[in-house]
Chain A
Amino acid sequence: MSATDPSAKDPMAAKPVPLVTADTRAFWDACAEGVLTYQRCAACGHVQFPPRPFCTECRAAGPVTERSAGLGAIHSFTIVHRAPTPAFKADTPYALALVDFDEGFRLMVNLRGCPPSDARIGLRVRVLFEPLAGGGALPQVRPLVE
């Protein structure tokens, strides 16, 4: 953490950045390249997220990393009016959603590219990547315009 990092003084002043682990480094590296990935078990076909070195269904080692088309639908959403920390206060109200991607995995994201009030269960969305302070990118979604 550098001296100019505002979070060095107050951990609540900056938005948390993903704490990358050995399990997730490949996922975040792909995000930095604008690619959303997930895992599929070569043995049983089970789709899982987040990445880990085994299949949670059949326990086989080494699920395969696959590239998602980045299309999905909102399973549920909320519009956050009361931020969890001061870092998110300027963003309120913002839409937080669980999105089911077409390949069969779920991500929590913010809905971008429209007013939060446009959020609907079932709304079709497409992934986008927001640059993160300090490098990398965070997957988000916006409404899919067919």
Chain B
Amino acid sequence: MTPVISGVADTAVGRLDGSGCMALHAEAASAALADAGLRADEVDGVLCAYSLAEPHLMLSSVFNEYFGISPSYSAAVQAGGATACALVMQAAALVRAGICRNVLAVCADNRLTGLGRNGAVAALAEVGHPQFERPYGMSIPAAYALVARRCMFERGVTAEHLAAISVTQRGHARRHPKAQARDPLTMEQALSARMIADPLRLFDCCLVSDGGAALVISAADVAADRTDHAVSILGYGQMNTHEHAFAMPSLTDFGCRQSAAQAFAMAGLTPADIDVAEIYDSFTITLLAELESIGFFPKGEAGPAILDGALELDGVLPCNTHGGLLSYGHSGAAGGMFHIVEAVRQLRGEAEARQVAGAETAFVHGDGGILSAHCSLILGRA
């Protein structure tokens, strides 16, 4: 049976005092089910991710118990920023195989109030190799700074190219009433902000947030019965090349090349066919490197194009139209799911002040680790 995205939802994002990891999961899940026109007892598959604030070995079981459901299929997936896209790929496979009819994919974390910014930075640094990275003081921004420095050396990337990404996305976030960072941001501010890991400055780095999101992936006949706004899943693909920064096969070319190629082949489309892109942006360099690896821009040309407005709502590739992890918010695996929720809203014509006119196809990408795990999706207006 053909899988479609039948419902989406997100909670508020930012500093949510008094929020809890499971309550955010439940809030997002309830809203996504309502959007899909489904009751909780119609969910026969549940896919969860992970939590840093309230970690558990079996997060999907913890969620099922808390939410009060007993699905016949349930699993938790941990692939960092690739998780949300990987959940859609897995849910689609479960529906296609006839194992499930309605899969609920839900991600949330209360990183900001549960861990604090310092706690989140320290907890994330623990993904570094316990023998060959952590003893050297590698932060996650430092690992991405190694990529940025090499891209500057090989591809002519400049600090201005990176700043243009954060400034463009802040402009998008200012059109989204729920975005966490909505103050105006100028190139001058971005280029003079305090250094985090040279050459990455403060606004080159994503936010730390509380928040959650959920999706429902249903068999097309169920969705046709319950909603009039299902979104097609046209293609998906994955690639996994390494985990640690010292083991990166390349610092300028990444597995998103292969994951996207699989997704485009499955959809029968090319990058030129994409109307709107929501691409993982844990750091500005993450997005820039992925835009070139995927093939949206030739090598060395993404930066100048971005300075020229390529990622604006009326640009050649409107991108991260909600503001992305840099300005909308980043609460763990939900951060990557916000990209999917935004893509669905764009395709449903519900993106209000940030709507890309006539958007019929969307490309979504998530990457986890140090550009290690990649998953790409291509979605289409039904």
A residues sitting closer than 8 Å to B (CB atoms) are: 12, 15-21, 24, 28, 50, 75-85, 87-88, 91, 93-94, 96-98, 106-110, 121, 132, 138
**Contact flags B254-286 to A (C-beta < 8 A → 1, else 0):** 000000000000000000000000000000000
Beta-carbon contact of B131 and A84 below 8 Å:
no
**Contact flags B102-127 to A (C-beta < 8 A → 1, else 0):** 00000000000000000001100100
Question: A82-B196, A84-B125 are contacts. A18–B153 as well, Cβ < 8 Å?
Answer: no
Across-interface contacts of B130 in A (CB, < 8 A) = 16, 18-19
**Contact flags B141-171 to A (C-beta < 8 A → 1, else 0):** 1100111111001000000000000000000
Across-interface contacts of B141 in A (CB, < 8 A) = 82
Question: A50-B132, A85-B122 are contacts. A94–B146 as well, Cβ < 8 Å?
Answer: no
- Of all chain A residues, the one with the shortest Cβ separation from B134 is A16
Contact with A85, one of B125, B140, B145, B247 (Cβ below 8 angstroms): B125
Contact with B146, one of A77, A84, A132, A138 (Cβ below 8 angstroms): A77
Within 8 A of A (CB), among B223-269: 245-247, 251
Beta-carbon contact of B146 and A78 below 8 Å:
yes
Beta-carbon contact of A110 and B136 below 8 Å:
yes
Beta-carbon contact of A84 and B149 below 8 Å:
no
Across-interface contacts of A109 in B (CB, < 8 A) = 136
- Of all chain B residues, the one with the shortest Cβ separation from A16 is B134
Number of interface residues of B (CB under 8 A): 36
Question: A18-B131, A19-B130 are contacts. A98–B245 as well, Cβ < 8 Å?
Answer: yes
In the complex, given contacts A16-B134, A81-B197, A110-B137, what are 14 additional A-B residue pairs having Cβ atoms less than 8 angstroms apart? Answer: A15-B135, A16-B135, A28-B131, A76-B153, A78-B146, A78-B199, A79-B195, A81-B194, A81-B195, A83-B139, A98-B146, A98-B251, A108-B133, A121-B149
Across-interface contacts of A82 in B (CB, < 8 A) = 121, 139, 141, 194-197
Across-interface contacts of B125 in A (CB, < 8 A) = 84-85
Beta-carbon contact of B149 and A108 below 8 Å:
no
Beta-carbon contact of B150 and A121 below 8 Å:
yes
Across-interface contacts of A97 in B (CB, < 8 A) = 146
- Of all chain A residues, the one with the shortest Cβ separation from B128 is A84
Contact with A96, one of B122, B136, B153 (Cβ below 8 angstroms): B136
The 9 closest A-B pairs by CB, nearest first: A78-B145, A84-B125, A84-B139, A88-B137, A18-B131, A79-B198, A76-B150, A16-B134, A81-B195
